[in-house]
């Protein structure tokens, strides 16, 4: 049989239930008078030396306290039991049924003094039904609240996981925006090789499978560099940005210093003095 979720009988939820149920029961008893306190003989209450109404309130409080004690003991036993093995839905229903039977039996002993014309079985049947109403309503409310709280907790956990996944995804992909700030190209970081300035456009070189491709996007290299700040895509020349992870060879000739990527169809990239520091940091502190 399918076990009941553990959060239903967790320590915190059981304490909350034990505190909530008697409060609800006391209010319910005083409003609807399900236990027929009005039938109690005045002679039975005269020894308390207080008004009849106050005596009835005190009796109701004592009965609720007794029910609370039964519930507390029952939940303590349930906690000990579920620490060893899970309890099924059927088992949990039987457990609650047993709680109601015990409480109804206690209330029957008290009701004998008020309902002298009824037999004990009749009293028990009547009080079993009324005790069921007194307990099952708050039990259902507690169960609904526990499920709601658990769903909220799972939703928060799911949102955090989604946020983490989105952060990982954002780090894994490079987004190239146009001049209006709209995303025009999204590429995995390891597939992006080079971004070249072409007047009011940028030419993006990237790897797609075994081939190299390029895409033209209307934007300036300066704006693209500002958007990609903090990534491994850095500017090395007024006309170029490179992915440092793809830089294979750094060589110098009479025309200057160049970076080779090793991809066919992608030009070697010059390094200007203005941006040489960016490349120097990469050479000395490569991640």
Q: Which of 241, 238, 237, 236 is nearest to 194 (CA)?
A: 241
What digits encode the pLDDT tens for the residues 141-172?
988 999 999 999 999 988 888 777 766 666 67
Give the position of tokens 């004690």: 69
Mean pLDDT of the chain: 80
208 - beta bridge partners?
Answer: 211
224, 195 contact by CB (below 8 A): yes
Give the confidence band of 201 by pLDDT, cuts at 50, 70, 90: very high
Query: Which of the two residues, 152 and 281, has the higher pLDDT score?
Result: 152
pLDDT of residue 124: 86
Give the position of tokens 């991809």: 263
Q: Any idea which of 59-73, 88-102, 223-237 has the lowest mean pLDDT?
A: 59-73
**63 contacts: CB under 8 Å, gap ≥ 6:** 29, 35, 106, 107, 110
215 - beta bridge partners?
Answer: 204
Eight-state DSSP code of residue 181: S
Superfamily of the domain at 178-284 = LytTr DNA-binding domain (2.40.50.1020)
Give the pLDDT mean for 177-187.
Answer: 88
**Read out DSSP for 90-115?**
HHHHHHHHHHHHHHHHHHHHHHTTT-
What digits encode the pLDDT tens for the residues 240-258?
988 888 878 777 777 778 8
Give the pLDDT mean for 117-136.
Answer: 81
236, 271 contact by CB (below 8 A): yes
Give the pLDDT mean for 93-99.
Answer: 89
What digits encode the pLDDT tens for the residues 43-68?
545 555 556 566 656 666 777 777 77
Tell me the C-alpha distance between 219 and 270, whole Å. 21
With a threshold of 0.75, does the pTM exceed it? Answer: no
For the chain, which residues make up each domain, given as ranges? 6-167, 178-284
pLDDT of residue 269: 86
Residue 249, classed as helix, strand or coil, is strand
Give the confidence band of 195 by pLDDT, cuts at 50, 70, 90: very high
Tell me the C-alpha distance between 114 and 128, whole Å. 16
């Amino acid at each position: 049989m399918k076990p009941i979720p553990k959060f239903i009988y967790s320590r915190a939820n059981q304490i909350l239930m034990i505190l909530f149920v008697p409060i609800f029961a006391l209010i319910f008893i005083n409003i609807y008078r399900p236990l027929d306190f009005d039938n109690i003989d005045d002679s039975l209450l005269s020894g308390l030396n207080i008004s009849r109404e106050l005596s009835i309130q005190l009796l109701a409080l004592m009965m609720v306290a007794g029910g609370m004690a039964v519930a507390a003991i029952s939940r303590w036993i349930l906690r000990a039991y579920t620490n060893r093995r899970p309890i099924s839905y059927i088992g949990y229903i039987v457990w609650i049924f047993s709680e109601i039977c015990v409480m109804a039996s206690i209330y029957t002993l008290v009701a004998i003094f008020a309902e002298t014309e009824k037999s004990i079985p009749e009293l028990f049947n009547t009080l079993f039904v009324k005790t069921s109403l007194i307990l099952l309503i708050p039990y259902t409310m507690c169960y609904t609240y526990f499920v709601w709280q658990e769903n909220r907790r799972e939703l928060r956990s799911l949102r955090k996981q989604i946020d983490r996944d989105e952060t990982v995804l954002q780090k894994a992909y490079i987004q190239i925006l146009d001049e209006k700030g709209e995303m025009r190209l999204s590429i995995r970081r390891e597939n992006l090789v080079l971004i070249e300035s072409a007047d009011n456009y940028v030419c993006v070189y990237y790897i797609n499978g075994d081939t190299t491709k390029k895409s033209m996007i209307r934007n300036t290299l300066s704006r693209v560099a500002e958007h990609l700040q903090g990534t491994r895509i850095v500017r090395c020349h007024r006309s170029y940005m490179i992915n440092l992870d793809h830089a294979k060879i750094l060589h110098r000739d009479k025309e200057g210093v160049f970076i080779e990527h090793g991809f066919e169809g992608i030009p070697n990239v010059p390094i200007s003095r203005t941006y040489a520091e960016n490349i120097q940091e990469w050479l000395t502190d490569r991640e």
